[in-house]
Amino acid sequence: MAYSTKLKYGINPHNGNASMRMSKKGYPIEILNGNPGTVNLLEALRGIGLVAEIDKTFDMPAAAALKHKNAAGAAIGLPLDDVYKNIYFCADKKLTQLAAAYLRAEGTDPKSAYGGTTCLSRTIDVPTALEMKKRVIDVVVAPGYEPEALEILKKKKESRMVIIQYDPKYELPPQHTINEGDVEFTFDRDNYKVTNELLEDVVGAPLTENETRDLKLGAVIAKYTKSNKTIYTIDGQTAGVMPGQMSRVDSIRWAGEKSIMWLLRQSEEVQNIKPIADKLSKSMYDKIQLQTQIVETFLNGKTKTEKRVMIKDVMENRKWDSFRATTCGFLPFVDNITEAYNNCVGSILYPKAPSKGIRFPEISEEAKKVGIKLCLFPYRLFRED
């Protein structure tokens, strides 16, 4: 028996007669605060699956910041060092794993995450709620809330925050459905688990432990992100995500630009402006804008070679070697490798084409020449909704 409820409107305010319907009684979510719209609920439901799978894959708290159903950032709860705490404006704070995952996810691309949906895989604690209180979030989604944490979020100043609790036992149905007009498409869901064994077909040197972790994270995120997409990951979090592009090489380029912005926020020059930013404004968005403006000044007029030198310098200071990139289809041309190299990518996960593709010899030769490892994934990672 179908179960349905009315909504205030559809995707846009003029889309009336809106409702949400399930094929069986009982939704996997409960609204604890606020009045969600259709987009809020679509993002919440997409994010629940994403953070739940990341958590299961790594057995760690996970977080994702979503906008228009795509992750602007996602992460696992690795500890934050002083540099992270500075750029995420949480210095000298004692943070739980969940709070660290949240700050990493939101901090990937805070301009894109602004006013979006934040999903977490574990019960929200007080440290996480206090960090959320400082930022502009329309919707927060979690499997539970500590009582004090829930009150902090409900009392957020000038907030109409939608607070949603989901059933952690809920599992997506085995069949995936997409509607286009009166036509319904149904097919088996991507239910495979992203394991180390799926990342063993590598052209080049074997993947390091950290590369494996970060490419696995990228592969999980790709399952929930609209194609064409490229996801740059490093240190257990996203550095830049570019979904929904018609051109794969453009997706690689623009995800790289976002990742460079994220990385250069960690340069000494940006680190040194934190006291100034704190004095200039209490607004988190204003502080992030100042970081962005400084990085844009650094990059202005720089050649690709000069940019790469800047990127490598910050990478070395952070004791990292390179970004890892995940994309959803096979690489059709060498320019994909060139673009990835310009953005300091050291390994790329992409689905292998039948017979590896007609241009695979020249692509693999170029990758070998510039030192990029190619991880040939056994599943294509397209997502069209």
Lowest mean pLDDT among 133-137, 231-235, 269-273: 269-273
Give the C-alpha distances (Å, rounded to integers) separating 25 from 5, 21, 41, 140, 142. 11, 9, 17, 24, 21
Asked if residues 91 and 252 have their Cβ atoms less than 8 Å apart, the reply is: no
For residue 172, pLDDT over 80 is answered with yes
Helices (H), the chain: 38-58, 82-87, 97-108, 110-113, 126-133, 147-154, 209-222, 248-264, 268-271, 274-280, 284-299, 304-317, 335-342, 360-370
> Three-class SS of residue 350?
strand
Q: Binning pLDDT at 50, 70 and 90, where does residue 102 land?
A: very high
Task: For residues 4-21, give the mean pLDDT.
Answer: 87
Domain 3-15+28-166 has CATH 3.60.20.40: no
Residue predicted with more confidence, 76 or 30:
76
Say what the pLDDT of residue 276 is. Answer: 66
Amino acid at 347: S
Lowest mean pLDDT among 17-26, 45-54, 275-284: 275-284
Task: For residues 339-366, give the mean pLDDT.
Answer: 88
Asked if residues 52 and 44 have their Cβ atoms less than 8 Å apart, the reply is: no
**pLDDT, tens digit (0-9, with 9 covering 90-100), for 329-342:** 988 899 999 999 99
Say what the pLDDT of residue 277 is. Answer: 63
Joined together, the tokens standing for residue 313 give 């310098």
Q: Binning pLDDT at 50, 70 and 90, where does residue 1 land?
A: very low
Q: What percent of the chain has pLDDT over 90?
A: 69
With the C-alpha atoms ordered 243, 248, 254, 258, is the resulting torsion angle positive or negative?
positive
Task: Quote the CA–CA distance of 188 and 337 in Å, as a whole number.
Answer: 32
For residue 281, pLDDT over 80 is answered with no
Domains 3-15+28-166 and 193-377 share a fold: yes
Say what the pLDDT of residue 308 is. Answer: 85
Residue whose C-alpha is closest to residue 3's, from 39, 37, 31, 28: 28
- Region of residue 91 (phi > 0: left; psi between -120 and 50: alpha; otherwise: beta): beta
Lowest mean pLDDT among 131-140, 155-164, 320-329: 155-164
Query: Rounded to the nearest 5°, which phi and psi values hold at 128?
Result: -70, -45
Domain ranges of the chain: 3-15+28-166, 193-377
For residue 360, pLDDT over 90 is answered with no
Task: For residues 314-339, give the mean pLDDT.
Answer: 94
Give the C-alpha distances (Å, rounded to integers) separating 375 from 168, 222, 279, 333, 347. 32, 15, 46, 16, 7
Task: For residues 2-23, give the mean pLDDT.
Answer: 84
Compute how many other C-beta atoms are within 10 angstroms of the C-beta atom of residue 64.
Answer: 34
Task: Quote the CA–CA distance of 301 and 314 in Å, as a whole number.
Answer: 19
- What mean pLDDT is reported for the chain? 91
**pLDDT, tens digit (0-9, with 9 covering 90-100), for 221-235:** 999 999 999 999 999
The structure's pTM equals 0.94
With the C-alpha atoms ordered 338, 344, 347, 352, is the resulting torsion angle positive or negative?
negative
Lowest mean pLDDT among 57-61, 99-103, 105-109, 166-170: 166-170
CATH class in words for 193-377:
alpha beta
Asked if residues 111 and 240 have their Cβ atoms less than 8 Å apart, the reply is: no
